Amino acid sequence: MEAYNKWVDSFIKEKALLSPKEINKKRLFINIVVFTFFYASAYIPICIWFHYNSGLNAVICTLILLPSILFVIQKGYFTLGIHLYLLLITSMCLYLMNTTGGLWGSPFTSQWLSIPFILAILVSTRGTAFLYLLISVLAMSYFGVSQIMGRHFQLDMNKEFILHFNTIAQIGFLLTIFLVALTFDGTSKKAYEKVNELRANAELQNEIIAKEKERSDNLLLNILPAEVMEELKNTGKTHAKNYDLVTVLFADMVDFTRISEEMAPEVLVSCIDDYFQMMDNITSKYGVEKIKTVGDAYICAAGLNTGSSNNPVEMIHVALEILAATNRMSEERTALNKPVFQLRIGIHSGPLVAGVVGIKKFAYDIWGDTVNTAARMQQNGEPGKINISGTTRDLVKHRFHCDYRGRVDVKNKGLIDMYYVEGKK
C-alpha cells in the first residue's frame, strides 16, 4: 500500500506548494481513474461471452483512454485530465444506455451519469459540476421520453446478459461511492488527528510560554518592583514616581577594604554573597524593596511598593533582624575560620523620587535628599549600631528605645539630630 501511495503521489506536481486539501483532491481523482480501469476490465468477459461486440469496443476504448488520461496528468495537465475523464465516463454511459435498453432497460448504467458531476464537485469546480449535472438530466430525460413515445433501445440481448450487465454496473457504482466516502473519511480522520495534534502542540506551547513568562516575570521582579514591571511590559516605558514618605537604609561592611586585601577574589565574592543573601531574605520577609548593592554597601527602601505610612517602623525591624543575623553569622563563620564582617547601618525617612532610567540594563533607583541623608547616617554611625535621623526617630519613638547622640555635623548637611536604636519597647 505504501508503494501504491507513493506511485499515486508521483502524479501530483509541486506537492510542496499545495494545501493538504488540494493534495487529497488529486489523490482521490487518481484513485478513481485507477479503479475505473480495473472495473471496466470486468465487462470484457461478459461482452465476449454474450457476443456484445459494440460493448466490447467501448470497454477496450475506455481501457486505452484511461492510461492516456494518467499520462496527461503525469505531464502536469491535471485539469485537462479531469475534463477528459468526466467526458469519457459521460460518453460511455450514454453509449451503453443506447445499446442496452435506454433508461428503463439499464437503470444502473444511468446511475453512472451521476459520477461525473459528483466527482466534479469534489475535484473540480462548481461550474463543471453544474455542466455535467445538466448533461445527465437532459440525457435521462431524453431516454425516458423516447421510451414513453415508443422507441425501443433494446438490442437482441437476452435477460441473462441484462442481469449480468446491470449487476456489474450497480456494484461498480456502489464501489465508486464507497471509494469516495472512504477517501474523505480517511482525510477527515487525518484532519481530526492533525487538529488534535496541533491542539496538543498548542497547549504544550502555551504551557511552555506560560512557564517562560513566569520565569521572565520572576527575573524582572528581581530587578524591578512589580508595579514598575507591569508598566514597562504594558507601555514599553516607565515614569518616575514621587513618594512623600519612604524610609531608606544604608548598610556597609566595616573595614571592608582592609580585610578584602588579604582575601582571594573568589573567597571575597563568596563572603559578600553570604551577607547580602541574608539581607535579601530579611527585606523580602518585610516587603522592603532592595534597591542595589554598591561594592560592600547594601541599599533598600520601605514604603515604595506598599505605600504604608508605617514604613519607618518596618525598616527598624529589618535593621534589628539584620544585626541579629550578622551576630549569628559571625559566630558560625568564626567557628569555621571564615572571614567575619561587622555592619554599620544608617536610616532616614522622607520624600524621594523612584524610577528607571536609561534604555539598557534597566536599574530601579531612588533619588533625593532623603537618600543622601540616609547615606550620611550610615557614614556617621558605629559598627554594630543602627544610626537614625531625628526625623525617623520621631516616627518610631512609640515603638523603639532610641539613645540620643546629639547634633552631629554632617558634610554638606550641617548639624543633624542622630539616635542609636537600642531595641523594642
Domain ranges of the chain: 2-201, 237-424
Mention every residue, 6+ apart, whose C-beta is less than 8 A from residue 322. Answer: 251, 278, 279, 282, 343, 345
Tell me the C-alpha to C-alpha distance, in Å, between residue 87 and each of 37, 65, 117, 136, 352.
Answer: 15, 11, 11, 12, 88
Closest of 393, 347, 328 to residue 251, by C-alpha? 347
Closest of 391, 376, 385 to residue 422, by C-alpha? 385
Q: What is the pLDDT of residue 90?
A: 85
Instruction: Compute the distance between CA of residue 315 and CA of residue 377 in angstroms, rounded to an integer.
Output: 14
How many Cα atoms are found within 13 Å in the side-chain-facing hemisphere of 37? 14
Q: Three-state DSSP class for 347?
A: strand
Mention every residue, 6+ apart, whose C-beta is less than 8 A from residue 28. Answer: 122, 123, 180, 183, 184
pLDDT along the chain (425 residues), means of 10: 78 74 80 82 78 78 88 86 88 78 62 79 84 85 78 60 67 70 56 57 74 71 68 72 93 88 86 93 92 92 80 95 94 89 94 83 86 94 94 94 92 91 91
Q: What is the pLDDT of residue 45?
A: 82
**10 Å Cβ neighbour count for 73?**
23
Cα angle: 183, vertex 170, 109; to 5 degrees = 110
**10 Å Cβ neighbour count for 41?**
13
Burial state string for 286-306 with b = 16 or more CB within 10 A and e = fewer than 16 = eebbbbebeebebbbbbbbee
Radius of gyration of the chain (CA): 46
Q: Three-state DSSP class for 348?
A: strand
Burial of residue 421, with CB atoms counted within 10 A of its CB: 0-12 exposed, 13-18 middle, 19 or more buried: buried
Q: Which amino acid would we find at residue 258?
A: R
Q: What would the grid cell of residue 303 be?
A: 514604603
The domain 237-424 having CATH identifier 3.30.70.1230: the answer here is yes
Q: Which amino acid would we find at residue 396?
A: V
Q: What is the pLDDT of residue 370?
A: 95
**10 Å Cβ neighbour count for 347?**
30
Burial state string for 154-166 with b = 16 or more CB within 10 A and e = fewer than 16 = eeebeeebbeebb
H or E stretch covering 23: helix 20-41
Burial of residue 284, with CB atoms counted within 10 A of its CB: 0-12 exposed, 13-18 middle, 19 or more buried: exposed
Alpha helices in 222-264 (DSSP H): 226-235, 256-260
Cα angle: 332, vertex 335, 338; to 5 degrees = 80
